[in-house]
Amino acid sequence: MITLLSFVFTLAILIAIHEYGHFQMARWCGVKVLKFSIGFGRPFFTKTFGKDKTEFVLSALPFGGFVKMLDERELSEHDKLLMDSHELNRAFNRQSVYKRIAIVAAGPIANLLLAVVLYWLLMMQGTIGLKPVLADVAEGSAANAAQLHREDRIVNIAGHDVQLWQDIQWILIRQVFKSPTVAVQTIDRHQQKHTRYLDLTGITESDLDADFLAKLGLKPSKPVVDPVIGNLIQNSPAERAGLQTGDKILTVDGELVADWESLVKIIQDSPNKNLKLSIERTNQHLDINVIPDVINKNGHSIGQVGAGVSMNESMMNQYLITIHHSPITALLKAVQKTYETSAFSLKMLSNMLTGEVSIKSISGPVTIATYAGQSANLGLNAFIAFLAVISISLGVLNLLPIPVLDGGHLLYYMVEIIKGSPVSDQVMEMGQRIGLAILGLLMACALYNDLSRLITG
């Protein structure tokens, strides 16, 4: 239910903001707006507002929307005769090409501005994350070859400052497509500064869907957490087996368990296998058998019992950092984040066209719904960050020069400026057909990828 409600709320908000951009710019340009509609299907709210008597409509299925403006091309000759000249001068088709460009572009721009506002709020509130300090560096890894060591604090990558561990992933995922090596500036345990060069050539496209930092040998320094049960998912294998909050796992099949990470690895390596747990519960030693469920992750079957860890908050705080920004700095960083995410999205799209990136990277409504539910479960900040990313994706997608999208209309207007007259109806009709075909292929590809992910995990 949370996933469904989060998905519906996400679509409703992003579509409403997009259409409001068109609506407000049309009003500023003096165009008469006849209808502002969100959703499809049976309307459950209809109200007329304003001096233009604009009809506002909310429908049951929030999978789209539109702003209907006065346009002579949609009027009969009889209707034109009944309208006075002032009213006809407010028709969309009578506006200058630059006003029409502004109205069409306002929708995607509104989505990008929404992302800026959301990132601005998050950055002012403060971003919490792991400190960018390395744990043990695996032998033979790219990080080991670059002479990175345990307790090194990463402060800059490729000229970009690093404040949180998640900054490392965001910077490197962009650098993978730019150069085979990247400069990494660190401060070691003795406060000495170093510049290392990390080899990225071992990272493939499929690695980007998983923990590619671990493949490079980069792991964050985290506290050693005791294998104590903190919470249980209802009707999970752990709960059915009789495990309780506060249970400390001593051994699994006779093998000593040193910490929570070791316990997780044993369970993940034992899908659908009967495990004998020796536990300590209020000074009692008990034996409990549990069979991990089998789940698919990145094409591999792993075990899962549905138990969470009991965290010592004071210990964890030693490894966490909160970054606060002033309103002005937060705004500048929000604009930069929105720009970088938009540019990266366009880069990924161009790489798909050249074959450097697989079309399997395209996601559809099922994946969006899944992430909407997951982010909502993680808390308000995670959901706001998710909204910002999807809003950017919607804005960038609509600016693509594909007929039937806003970018397609902008392309027509660019041609109109160059040739001095509007594109013919025949060209526009052909463009509509081509655009619908392209969108149909994209939707089919996205749904196929969604279903494939559901099957393979």
Q: Which amino acid is at 399?
A: L
Using CA atoms, how far apart are residues 158 and 337, in angstroms rounded to an integer? 16
Residues 6+ apart with CB under 8 A from 198: 142, 143, 146, 148, 181, 182, 183, 184, 216
Residues 6+ apart with CB under 8 A from 319: 130, 131, 133, 220, 221, 222, 223
Using CA atoms, how far apart are residues 46 and 65, in angstroms rounded to an integer? 14
Using CA atoms, how far apart are residues 368 and 15, in angstroms rounded to an integer? 14
Using CA atoms, how far apart are residues 84 and 253, in angstroms rounded to an integer? 87
Using CA atoms, how far apart are residues 12 and 19, in angstroms rounded to an integer? 11
**Helices of type H across 176-281:** 212-216, 237-241, 260-268
19 is catalytic: yes
Reference 389, options 13, 163, 118, 166; nearest CA is 118
List beta partners, residue 47. 56
Q: Catalytic one among 19, 139, 340, 356? A: 19
Answer for the pair 252, 276: CB distance below 8 angstroms, yes or no.
yes
Question: How many other β-carbons are positioned within 10 Å of the β-carbon of residue 266?
Answer: 20
Using CA atoms, how far apart are residues 39 and 43, in angstroms rounded to an integer? 8
Which residue is it, tokens 């789209």? Answer: 64
411: its two tokens: 């392309």
Which residue is it, tokens 């070691």? Answer: 188
CA atoms within 13 A on the CB side of 33: 26
Name all contacts of 434-437 with Cβ < 8 Å and 24+ positions apart.
434/403, 435/402, 435/403, 435/404, 435/405, 435/408, 436/403, 436/404
Instruction: Give the N- to C-terminal CA distance of the chain in Å, as an integer.
Output: 21
Which residue is it, tokens 């490197």? Answer: 172
Q: Which residues are catalytic?
A: 19
